[in-house]
Structure formats: C-alpha cells, structure tokens
Amino acid sequence: DVKVTQSSRYLVKRTGEKVFLECVQDMDHENMFWYRQDPGLGLRLIYFSYDVKMKEKGDIPEGYSVSREKKERFSLILESASTNQTSMYLCASSMQVSGANVLTFGAGSRLTVL
Amino acid sequence: GQNIDQPTEMTATEGAIVQINCTYQTSGFNGLFWYQQHAGEAPTFLSYNVLDGLEEKGRFSSFLSRSKGYSYLLLKELQMKDSASYLCASMDSNYQLIWGAGTKLIIKP
C-alpha cells in the first residue's frame, strides 16, 4: 500500500516562528500536494509539485513556501507563522487509477499558532 | 465561479440506506471524486466518475449526471463504521480538484 507519512501530528508554535512540515511518500509518485483543511471549508490547495525541484502555486500560497529536493519528500515551510495559519495540513501524493488521478493522503499535521 | 455544494450533516440508522448529494459548477469537467474521512484521519479514496451513470462498489455506489452538474454517493446496509465525513471533489479543465466542505454522516443504532 502507498504510504504518505507526515512527520508531526501536532505542533504548537508562536507567532513569527519558522515552521517546517515534512512529508514523505514511499511509492515513487511523481505528484505531491499540500492542502489545508479548515472547518466548514473544502480542502484548499497551497502548493503542488509534479517533479523534483518543481513547484506550482495552488489557490492559497501566500505565507507558505515548499521544497522538493528529492522525489519522495515534499516540505511545507511557513517562514513566519501567523495565527491565521492555525489549521490541519494534509500532504498527498497521487497516481493514476483507471484514468483518474487518485490522491493518497497523510494523516495530517495539526498546527496551532499562538 | 467554481463551486461545490453538499449537505453539512446527515443522520441515518444502522442497516438503512443513505444518499449524499453533491452539486458542482467548475470550469470544464474531468471527473467527480468521493473520499471518506474518519475523524482525525486522512481522507481515503472511494470512487471516481467521469461518465454519466451509476458505479457500484460493494455497499457503496456513486452516480453522476454531467448535464445536471450532480452526483450522489449511495451507502447501503449502513454500519457504525460508516460514520465519517464524505468529501466530494470535482476536477476542472486544468485537472485541479475543487473540494466541497464535506458531509458529516452520523449513524445511529
């Protein structure tokens, strides 16, 4: 089975701190994604990557950056955390299944910014 | 604009059938996905429809009408473990997913 592992399930940070969220997938998938999930809203795409060293902005990239130095690892960086970045962050990788690009998600990283 | 609508919450009884509806408006259309998410866990893939009609997978079925911008997920013989949120997502012309806010399904004994 494809496994997507997010390094931290729960983090508490202070405003202004730099935050790294790490994600590793073990099935050689080309595509990786970072989403945030907030109550009452659909998943919102922050950044995605279709290849090593490649990144594309999603719908809400402001305040975030990403790094993909190796195929299996996609990191989300908050340069200076703010309280409005308190959220659940979900990493995903994808593969084609019967013509569909199916996402496999990690368990999520719940970030609280104080 | 792009929009996905689904009910916020539904309640059903163990052993019964429930239908979760989803309507969508996206720029172009390349398929409709359903994911299941148990509380505190990752969403997991349930189904993908790109052609009109019903796709059946065991107790779960998914229906699509492209002309109406409408899909539903049908769950039969409900079990307590089906208590979860069900996320609908439409893929637009750029192959990006537009997600609904999810439907929380509560199963009562």
Q: Do B48 and A104 touch (CB under 8 A)?
A: no
Q: Based on the number of CB atoms within 10 Å of its own CB, is A11 exposed (0-12), middle (13-18) or buried (19 or more)?
A: middle
User: By the CB < 8 Å criterion, does A10 face chain B?
Assistant: no
Average pLDDT over residues A22-28: 93
The per-residue pLDDT for B96 is 87
Q: Do A100 and B33 touch (CB under 8 A)?
A: yes
Q: Do A42 and B91 touch (CB under 8 A)?
A: no
Q: Using alpha carbons, select from A7, A8, A11 the residue that is nearest to residue A114.
A: A11
Q: Do A90 and B42 touch (CB under 8 A)?
A: yes
Q: In angstroms, rounded to a whole number, what is the distance separating the alpha carbons of residues A29 and A106?
A: 14
pLDDT tens digit string along B32-56? 999 999 998 999 999 999 999 999 9
CA distances from B75 to B20, B59, B79, B101 (A): 8, 6, 9, 19
pLDDT tens digit string along B70-85? 999 999 999 999 999 9
Q: Do B45 and A104 touch (CB under 8 A)?
A: yes
Q: Which residue of A has its CA nearest to B42?
A: A107
A30: enclosing H helix or E strand: none
CA distances from A109 to A46, A86, A89, A104 (A): 14, 10, 5, 15
Chain B nearest CA to A110, separation (Å): 10
Q: Which of A103-107, B3-7, B26-30 shows the lowest mean pLDDT across its residues?
A: B26-30
Where does the pLDDT of residue A1 fall: very low under 50, low under 70, confident under 90, or very high at 90 and above?
low
From chain A, the residues in CB contact with B98 under 8 A are 42
User: By the CB < 8 Å criterion, does B43 face chain A?
Assistant: yes
Q: In angstroms, rounded to a whole number, what is the distance separating the alpha carbons of residues A52 and A33?
A: 13
